[in-house]
Structure 1
Amino acid sequence: MSTVGKVIKCKAAIAWEAGSLFSIEEVEVAPPKEHEIRVKIVATGVCRSDAHAISPSFKEGLFPVILGHEGAGIVESTGPGVTKFKPGDKVIPLYMPQCGQCKFCLSPKTNLCEKISKIKTAISDQDLMPDGTSRFTCKGKQIYHFMGTSTFSEYTVVAETSLVKIDDAAPLEKVCLIGCGFSTGYGAAINTAKVEPGSTCAVFGLGGVGLSAVMGCKVSGASRIFAIDINKDKFSLAKELGATDCLNPQDFKKPIQEVITEMNDGGVDFAIECIGNIAVMNAALECTTVGWGTCVIVGVAVGGQTIAVSPMQLIMGKKINATFFGGWKSIDSVPKLVSDYMAKKFNLDALVTYTLPFEKINKAFDLMCEGKSTRTVLVF
């Protein structure tokens, strides 16, 4: 029986309040409106940004909400005015939209788009659809969307500018990681840092994003890649993916930035921070060489914390930058990244530690927070 134009009842993980576990509930998902698409999510990764969003430290969060922003699925139906998608298309929802018309999309200088909620409101990732309403209802209550994607639901509704069609042969339980973690880390090295052949790099944090940054440094031709983490269990995979030196800060009496500086003739050319810890961000900047060292911030710090940067560091030639979705213009780049994966240009499979049924979502977050998984993928 066709579901087109009808409300769909399905399962979703709802965060009812900050600091709570996810609750698997039956939700009602309304049909897509103009320039919207309803997508059946097949697989979704679990990202630390989702954990941040329900942290009590995340002051702007709106509840109840359906989180999730690293998914892949199949188009179920389209709303009026949609011409680029049809039912059955394999797709990846995009938390970084690309409208193709705003001043940001028209500029090669950024991958931002005015459709992203943070540019419009500067308030929260937990939001509503562009018309100010939700497509989700549970127990008679309106449920907020998240980052324009809400992939922790068997069905979700996204705007046309926040979706991209991909190769029909792509395995959705793997390429869902291109929706966030992989693209962010890989792009941080390639697009934002612009790692050069023969250069030296340091990557702080060896989760899915950090290991993707290691891959980006490797493919860019870096001659030496320091991989830093306090969990030594991550070192073997880091070396498999391209790291040359693995360092645990707890093994040294000196600050890790001093260790790296001494090991590499005054510091590395590029440092990429993938944790979201203010002290580590400062360490990443400090381990870069004077003259031209570049530090790229990927991690998101919660609670309104700020980085203390000495003007003298900048005067001496060090640079600090940050990246959002790895600098990729999403609709242009995601299909190409999927094609590169299909052509075995990078090892996406290595990032998937566990594949679990969707109902195990709280277990997946436990594994992430305990440092026991690089990425856990949930499948419906």
Structure 2
Amino acid sequence: MPGAAHDREIETVAEFDEVAASGSIAGHRVQAVDLTERTDRLLAVETAGALFLGCPMTPEAALSVRARGALVFPPVPGLPFDPYRGHLYTPDELFTHLASGGYEATPDARAYAWFQHTKADGDVFASMLRAIHDDSVSDALDELLSGAPVVGVMGGHAMARGTEDYAEAARLGRTLARCGLTVATGGGPGAMEAANLGAYAAPFDDTMLDESLELLAKAPSFAPSVTDWAAAAFEVRARHPLGGASVGIPTWFYGHEPPNAFAEHIAKYFANATREDGLLARSTAGVVFLPGAAGTVQEVFDNATPNYYESRGEPTPMVLVGRAHWTEKLPAWPLLRALARERSMEHRIALVDTPAEAAEAIRALGSSTGQD
């Protein structure tokens, strides 16, 4: 039954209390919930077939629930991340200690350092923890985006703050969000940050984005200082709290590229292949490809491939932005158009000149099959 597995997941103390009040959590999956203050409840409740993933509890409670048929995966000490986490990351979580210790002190930087160290060691336990973590993130991402019209915005990390290209990408993200679409990006700097910034700015009047672009231009790039780059973004958030939500899906595989602070929900992965495929597969309302280099070209055809072989429904819309870029500098458009013609899906792709035209193109391509 669709959704049945999610109905058995317990991801907060409040959810645990609600289910346990019935006298049974049999068959439920309790994920990263601190149960150290729930010993009496754990000793009394039925637990046959329950699964506890990374839930702190007293030794007495752990022994009791195991004896009564539960399976317990205890927390792993010393990690800079929780492999069993039940929710996506937030910017505040990943950038904790930024102000006091700089970027190197943040959980994001420490997770990257752990990844680099354990990857070099080839430790099978570490690779298992990374896989569990990434699966937990995927589960949380699916729960967040269930039923949402998601539009992916792809583009290069090198696009600098303070440039007109960055400003146009931000206005694109704002327009898409104001159209009721959930903006999802690769979660990093450059064009990705710009689109997430635009979605964050969507609830405010237009002057907010203009002011924010000017402020961010003081730290154009994450090099040489990630600390200064991130601090500028948090200054924008402090001046304009409660901005619009969007999704960033970055990776520690490219750990030298930090996540941006404007994606309210961050699904950060260790495995880049899982991240790339997941971002494109969840872009149900289409994908906008801003000018980019090798990574963006790869994403164009990673997205084109399932569209090419789609047999159960309509392919998702694809919009390439920058005629000269995609026909002359990196001529992906002629090949994409040839593939589309072969599968009669030309009505689902478009090449436009500017980001301002991309949002309308996404809406037009979606409305051609009643998805508007």
Tell me the TM-score normalized by structure 2. 0.25
Tell me the TM-score normalized by structure 1. 0.25
Name which structure has the greater RCO, CA cutoff 8 Å, separation 6+: 1
Q: Which has the higher strand share?
A: 1
> Which of the two has higher C-alpha Rg?
2
